[in-house]
Amino acid sequence: MRIISGKYKSRRIQVPTNLKARPTTDFAKEGLFNVLNNYIDWDDTSALDLFSGTGSIALELVSRGCSRVVSVESEQLHWRFITIAKEKLEASELYPLKADVFKFLISCREQFDLIFADPPYDLKEVDTIPDLILDKNLLKPDGLLILEHSKSHDFTMHPRFNRELKYGSVHFSFFI
């Protein structure tokens, strides 16, 4: 796993083979962050990374200057990997939480500038995620929700859908 830009630019973190996560590809991640650079002032951004997996997105957000990044992951091995990566990088802005994302969303009282969700592509509840987040008012005014998903999901009719980016088989739907 490679961090693309920022203070940890070009740092590689070896992902153990026993992790079951499907990290966002470097190609898709680089394309996404090139677009986000036009939307976001990183230094003033608090972010939430849901279904964090390897922590690739959370670490990229910290590297680019986000002041606070909450990373939510339910799998013990994945959460531990993110925690170790945080310690190695001395990334004090990163807050890894071992929690079920859906239970976290129910109890969360914090608002974020940016929320990124990368659920397993075969998760039955994928279509419910935007409304769970948006109805709970977890985005700050002018905040942005990004949902990574496969081509089998189409969010273009959602009332808060903004745009979709496609990088190979990876799709990012933006909600405002």
What CATH number does domain 26-175 carry, 2.40.10.10, 3.40.50.150, 1.10.10.60, 3.40.50.720?
A: 3.40.50.150
What pTM does this model have?
Answer: 0.95
Q: Residue with structure tokens 């939430």?
A: 48
Return the number of other C-beta atoms located less than 10 Å from residue 20's C-beta.
10
How do the pLDDT tens digits run along the chain, 176 residues long? 889 999 999 888 888 888 777 678 889 999 999 999 988 999 989 999 999 999 999 999 999 999 999 999 999 999 999 999 999 999 999 999 999 999 999 999 999 999 999 999 889 999 999 999 999 999 999 999 999 999 999 999 999 999 999 999 999 999 99
pLDDT of residue 142: 92
Report the sign of the C-alpha dihedral through residues 152, 107, 161, 38, in that order: negative
Q: Is 155 left (phi over 0), alpha (psi -120 to 50) or beta?
A: alpha
Q: Residue with structure tokens 């001395």?
A: 90
pLDDT of residue 105: 96
pLDDT of residue 104: 97
d(CA 44, CA 30): 21
Q: What are the domain boundaries of the chain?
A: 26-175
